[in-house]
Structure 1
């Protein structure tokens, strides 16, 4: 049944009834589509629940109003469904991909990933997108007949190609999985996957500005020189002179999301109109993304990222905490490698008798699944000195 306000399904939309299927065949009879089942399985996974206590930029203990990986993910879902609906795509597939895109993130945001990648440099490295695939295909063990969540081919494809085609060299988890399933690594992903990726960018940009303003890392006036942002600020001032700061910040974010979604929809419709793809596979084979911003807005979006990098992601307050967080991840990795008895019993059993590389990969799995607070507790338990993260 069509959703109110949605366009009729586009010919190039992914169709659940034509899915390339799952790694393990399952009986039908469910009233949900294959992609709806995928989204529901991700929501009910342990990895999804743990996102509530994983850092986005500010650690969860700094305040209840800053984004966590979970709230960021839910915001990406909202944006992705809005764009997919406007383009006549499969909303459930875009939702599933938005829900899954950060499942592989370790604790402490990108600082945790950088340190874990360095620790794993001799064993194939660490990449959070590849780890998301590993989570849904191997590490979530809920079903009696298979490891992982047994999601549809189209979801696996979208996770792997979150940033576009993957011709190589491949991250370890993707290279291993490619032996089991051909995900067309050379091609662009479905339009729904491209929607989830641009929704991630929109949510990041808008809500990191929101968190940075609320944290006092920069002020509203400092944003006035930015393209796209500056005109929105001027428009709010003209319509609501004297508006209090919290409402102003919220209105700025709301209008930015609206503008970015509208541009992404209009530009994607323009590109699709020129390419005239016949079906979902034609989208994959076009050799360029079909979902994106117009040239002007793409430059404005890059300007926002360029502003945020030094003013937020490299702010001394954030850098100090992330440096200490990186020490926690590094300490834990080397301790577990040197003394597998420090691991919980079920993880200890999973590394016994393995090669050094296989043991390191399992330890990376364990670390990547930890929440910020669990990693802190582990560090306090295993080291004589108190954790540096308070």
Structure 2
């Protein structure tokens, strides 16, 4: 592994530390001990943390992404701490209530640069999480190394920009975070670093495999349905996948992917909540992760040989069939859990709750937590003040959002 002194640089220079830990190990430790990472334990992944004791939260999902990411780093000769730290950090910016909350805050922030979970992650890492300050007293977040910070950048462009000049609803930095974004990623255009590609793919793999497990265990999807209902059930899942994720993968490719997955020895033909059924599901998740990691590793090595894949030395190669299988698994969660939830009363209750909280904090900013209140007082205009309120609301967990709503909104209405 050949990381340069520039890769090891920090936005705010720091004095030399103990030689017993590498700079990347130190970055990982900073993230592990951060409050932002702890809060993910009470934030929605697909289902809310209160749904039951089995389902995954943003934190458990991030731990699983990190495990897959370390495998890729090992296989490709990248530093495992760089990839693992990026994987652990990738969802820090998600607000309460998952993508539902993200959509609400994007509406609220539409006139001040929008809201995007990945841009919020950068903001947390470089501004909001308390660890370092620059010489002028401005917060510098965790002040991670350039290589690690760049590895967290999933969408390396600003709002309304994107690959090949196309507008994209996803983006990696708000306008006032552009200086640190350009410091970390500048000069590489819309290309992600190799470690960021590993993080992104690890997220997709973990998301697809483990949300499948959650969906089956909660009996939102019963494997017997694919046997009993035949092609009609498969066609319905494929249709939902295309509606949610677009036509990047065709219906025919998704159907063929499903047939390959159904043919796996560990794919359950039935699920009845027995200990043996649960054990078989664990075999399935292991088989799927191993299948995807092996396919990507083989395809990438065939493309670039056995040189270390670090920073901008090359790209991770995902075979088309593997991509289709991942999308089909993600489509199962969409069809049986995510799409139906958009029509449930709780979905609208969550949206109302977050809109109310933005209004309540804006009307009475003294109720903001102290770090956010201090930032609110330093803000120079209404746009900056609204961004502080959004930072506060986005930082909340599902439970704390409900608690604040019960006390703060009720207090103002009384």
Q: Deviations over 1:139-183 (max 9, x none)?
A: 0123465531110112222222x14x4266365844323334431
- Residues 38-117 of structure 1: pairs in structure 2 closer than 5 A: 38-117=27-106
- Give the conservation status (yes or no) of the 8 Å contact 1:39–1:95: yes
Q: Separation in 1 of the partners of 2:158 and 2:385?
A: 27
Q: Indicate how the Cα distance of structure 1 residues 110 and 34 shifts in structure 2: closer, same or farther if over 3 A, else same.
A: same
* Structure 2 counterpart SS, 1:383: helix
Matched, 1:301 2:333: no
Residue 408 of structure 2: aligned partner: 382
Give the C-alpha shift of residue 191 in structure 1: 1.6
2:23 to 20, 23, 34: 34
1:140 to 107, 115, 129: 129
Residue 261 of structure 2: aligned partner: 229
- Give the conservation status (yes or no) of the 8 Å contact 1:198–1:292: no
Name structure 2 gaps, 5 residues minimum: 162-170, 228-233, 235-257
* Structure 1 counterpart SS, 2:45: coil
Give the C-alpha shift of residue 272 in structure 1: 1.9
Name structure 1 gaps, 5 residues minimum: 1-8, 386-390
> Which is further off, 182-191 or 371-380?
182-191
* Structure 2 counterpart SS, 1:307: helix
Give the C-alpha shift of residue 247 in structure 1: 2.2
Q: Separation in 2 of the partners of 1:257 and 1:29?
A: 37
Q: Deviations over 1:310-363 (max 9, x none)?
A: 222112488443322222111101222233243345433431364110011001
Q: Deviations over 1:60-119 (max 9, x none)?
A: 112111100100000000000011111222111101110111111111111111111111
Residue 368 of structure 2: aligned partner: 343
> Which is further off, 200-209 or 304-313?
304-313
Q: Separation in 2 of the partners of 1:235 and 1:384?
A: 49
Matched, 1:321 2:310: no
The total of aligned residue pairs comes to 361
Q: Indicate how the Cα distance of structure 1 residues 177 and 349 shifts in structure 2: closer, same or farther if over 3 A, else same.
A: closer
Q: Separation in 2 of the partners of 1:66 and 1:376?
A: 20
- Residues 1-390 of structure 1: pairs in structure 2 closer than 5 A: 9=1, 15=3, 19=7, 21-30=9-18, 31-143=20-132, 147-160=140-153, 162-163=154-155, 165-166=156-157, 169=160, 171=171, 173-180=173-180, 181-182=182-183, 183-184=185-186, 186-222=189-225, 226-232=258-264, 244-273=276-305, 280=310, 282-283=312-313, 290-316=315-341, 319-352=344-377, 354-384=380-410
- Give the conservation status (yes or no) of the 8 Å contact 1:80–1:95: yes
Residue 5 of structure 1: aligned partner: none
* Structure 2 counterpart SS, 1:121: coil
Q: Separation in 2 of the partners of 1:349 and 1:235?
A: 54
Q: Indicate how the Cα distance of structure 1 residues 88 and 223 shifts in structure 2: closer, same or farther if over 3 A, else same.
A: farther
Q: Separation in 1 of the partners of 2:65 and 2:302?
A: 23
Q: Separation in 2 of the partners of 1:305 and 1:71?
A: 17
Residue 6 of structure 1: aligned partner: none
Scaled by the length of structure 2, the TM-score of the pair is 0.79
Q: Separation in 2 of the partners of 1:318 and 1:148?
A: 38
RMSD, aligned CA? 2.7
- Give the conservation status (yes or no) of the 8 Å contact 2:77–2:309: no
> Which is further off, 217-226 or 290-299?
217-226
Q: Indicate how the Cα distance of structure 1 residues 282 and 345 shifts in structure 2: closer, same or farther if over 3 A, else same.
A: closer
